[in-house]
């Protein structure tokens, strides 16, 4: 399809970037790839790339994530959060990137490079390596949005398997907020919300076994 647009209108490259998060060993990690192409060859960057013809923005984000990191994500774990379009942000020309926030469920650890990628790996989200383009800014804003969502969506459940213990859930909150929480107040608050139901089982390990919970039927959760 050809556009009939005013002559002064900008034709721009349209891209998506994905700030994908997971919790590993009680610490919030961000998913980064090492670029295999110019510019910024061999620099770490957020997964992302150009939107294809006839492709929706969120589809492009999911595809890039799949191609570059072998992660298959459900659409409900993805949310657009800001668009970066400053003129000098990409040396190839005017490229506008619609940045997305992704929440990766527990167990998503296996990542691998792809055609446009040397490697993919997890890095501590609060202390990432130097990043290509303006991706450090994008990552910072993504973390802020993640913390906001924690408050009034029950985002943390997305990071956990179907059943989980309260200390595990608290660990997720602490990892995202990057600060310690009081155990009793946390339990009180979460249980009062009525979004958790005890599964009846318990999980053994070191110390006293913990009660297992699952999300209650009909509980709102996740991104918007």
Partner DNA sequence: GGGATAAGTGTATCCATGACACCTTCACTT
Partner DNA sequence: AAGTGAAGGTGTCATGGATACACTTATCCC
Q: Which residues make up the interface to DNA (CB under 7 A)?
A: 165-168, 182-185, 187-189, 192, 202, 204-211
Per CB under 8 A, the segment of 17-25, 55-63, 130-138, 214-222 that binds its own copies is 55-63
Across 56-89, b (16+ Cβ under 10 Å) vs e yields ebeebbbebbebbbebebeeebbbebeebeeeeb
Distance, C-alpha 112 to centroid of its chain:
17
Half-sphere exposure of 94 (CA within 13 A, CB side): 5
Q: How far is the CB of 202 from DNA (least distance, A)?
A: 6
Q: Is 10 in the site for its own copies (CB under 8 A)?
A: yes
Distance CA 128, CA 104 (A): 18
Distance, C-alpha 88 to centroid of its chain:
25
Pick between residue 144 and residue 189 the one whose CB is nearest to its own copies.
144
Backbone phi, psi, residue 34, to 5°: -100, 120
Distance CA 76, CA 62 (A): 11
Q: Is 54 in the site for its own copies (CB under 8 A)?
A: yes
Q: How far is the CB of 216 from DNA (least distance, A)?
A: 17
From the list its own copies, DNA, none, partner contacted by residue 52 (C-beta under 5 to 8 A by kind): its own copies
Q: How far is the CB of 146 from its own copies (least distance, A)?
A: 17
Among 11, 110, 127, 200, binds its own copies (CB under 8 A): 11
Distance CA 98, CA 14 (A): 8
- Give the count of residues interacting with its own copies (CB under 8 A): 34
Among 42, 83, 193, 197, binds its own copies (CB under 8 A): 83
From the list DNA, its own copies, none, partner contacted by residue 167 (C-beta under 5 to 8 A by kind): DNA
Across 32-43, b (16+ Cβ under 10 Å) vs e yields bbbbeeeebeeb
Q: How far is the CB of 150 from DNA (least distance, A)?
A: 12
- Where does this chain bind its own copies (CB under 8 A)? 1-6, 8-14, 49-57, 80, 82-83, 85-87, 92-96, 98
């Amino acid at each position: 399809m050809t556009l009939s647009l005013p002559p002064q209108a900008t034709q721009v490259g349209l891209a998506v970037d994905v700030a994908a998060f997971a919790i590993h060993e009680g610490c919030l990690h961000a998913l980064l790839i090492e670029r295999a192409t110019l510019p910024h060859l061999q620099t770490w960057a957020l997964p992302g790339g150009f939107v294809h013809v006839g492709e929706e923005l969120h589809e492009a984000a999911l595809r890039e994530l799949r191609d570059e990191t072998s992660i298959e994500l459900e659409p409900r774990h993805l949310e657009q959060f800001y668009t970066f379009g400053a003129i000098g942000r990409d040396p190839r020309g005017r490229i506008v990137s619609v940045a997305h926030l992704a929440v990766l469920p527990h167990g998503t650890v296996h990542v691998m490079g792809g055609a446009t990628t040397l490697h993919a790996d997890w890095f501590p989200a609060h202390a990432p390596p130097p990043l290509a383009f303006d991706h450090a800014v994008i990552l910072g804003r993504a973390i802020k949005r993640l913390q906001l969502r924690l408050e009034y969506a029950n985002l943390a459940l997305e990071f956990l398997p179907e059943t989980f213990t309260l200390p595990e859930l608290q660990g997720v909150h602490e990892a995202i907020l990057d600060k310690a929480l009081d155990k009793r107040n946390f339990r009180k608050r979460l249980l009062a919300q009525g979004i958790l139901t005890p599964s009846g089982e318990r999980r053994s390990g070191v110390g006293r076994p913990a009660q297992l919970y699952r999300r209650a039927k009909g509980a709102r959760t996740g991104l918007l």
